[in-house]
Chains A and B, each alone.
Chain A
Amino acid sequence: MTLLIGCLALLVISVVLLGVFRDLLYAAVALALASVILSIVLFHFGANVAGAFELSVCAGLITVLFVSTVSLTKDSDQKDEARLPALFILPAVALFAGVAYFLVRWLAPSLPAPTAAQTVPFREVFWGLRMTDVLGQISLVLVGVFGLLAILRARSAEGHHD
């Protein structure tokens, strides 16, 4: 329980740092740190596959994409960014913590009693019970690929025009 509370506290701290940092590169690193801590939480509860996905995809791939985008759009208009959200993030997080505490306490009695633990392994759920989700995921990846192709093609066409 101590490890879990420590990890969750670190997760909240890294998100607060993400909001406070003025430099987007530091903010991207804070997001990667949050992903690493979340994957530790996932491993802690035995969700090893989800933890490995979170670590490799969110902490790795998304951070690389983010850092690349920051370097491509460098020195645009970070100076004009409003500082109010960063200044008030600590009071806001304290307020949200109070709201979340009351929501959890309010919801807890109304939740139905948990059923007996279903020990169906992840492999059977993923490839058997939720096979259609895998097909959906494949189509999602294709949507992403074609979306990126359309966006980049539009840009290169614009370049040819000029």
Chain B
Amino acid sequence: MTEPVAALFFTGLLLFMTGVYLLLGVRNLLRIVLAIEVLAKGTTLMLLGAGLFRGAMGLAQSLIVTFIVVETILAAVMLALVVVCQRTNSSLDIRLLSRLKG
């Protein structure tokens, strides 16, 4: 494994673990969306590292572009849900979502 690939994998893993830490530690829905975005950044770095390692940058770019599309759709839908939750509960606390019925 070359140094740039190792650096990319190291940073990707670090961002992924930091994202999980932020995801588990917060209760605000907007901060949860932010933590998922951090996870996505780590995954993108690892995809880039894998493409560099295998020498298939075309394939890695294709996967990264697909992943960015998924990430954007996820963020848009989650942010819309956050707005609806805030209007329903007047709060962004994720614990209040247990009140939802139906």
Asked if B70 contacts A122 (CB within 8 A), the reply is no
- Write the B52-89 contact mask toward A (1 if CB under 8 angstroms, else 0): 11111111111011101111110111011111101100
Asked if A69 contacts B30 (CB within 8 A), the reply is yes
Q: Is the interface of A mostly helix, strand, loop or mixed?
A: helix
Q: A18-B38, A65-B79 are in contact. Are A47 and B61 (CB under 8 A)?
A: yes
Interchain pairs with CB closer than 8 A, number: 228
Asked if A81 contacts B68 (CB within 8 A), the reply is no
8 Å CB contact of A122 from B4, B22, B41, B58: B58
Interface centre among B8, B51, B66, B90 (most CB of A within 10 A): B66
Question: How far does the Cβ of A135 sit from chain B's closest Cβ, in whole Å?
Answer: 11
- Range of interface residues on chain B? 35 or more
Chain A residues with a Cβ closer than 8 Å to the other chain, count: 84
In the assembled complex, 23 residue pairs joining A and B whose CB atoms fall closer than 8 Å, in A order, are: A11-B41, A15-B19, A15-B41, A24-B30, A38-B41, A50-B61, A62-B71, A65-B75, A66-B75, A72-B86, A76-B90, A76-B91, A77-B28, A97-B10, A104-B6, A104-B10, A120-B58, A125-B59, A126-B58, A143-B73, A151-B77, A152-B80, A155-B84
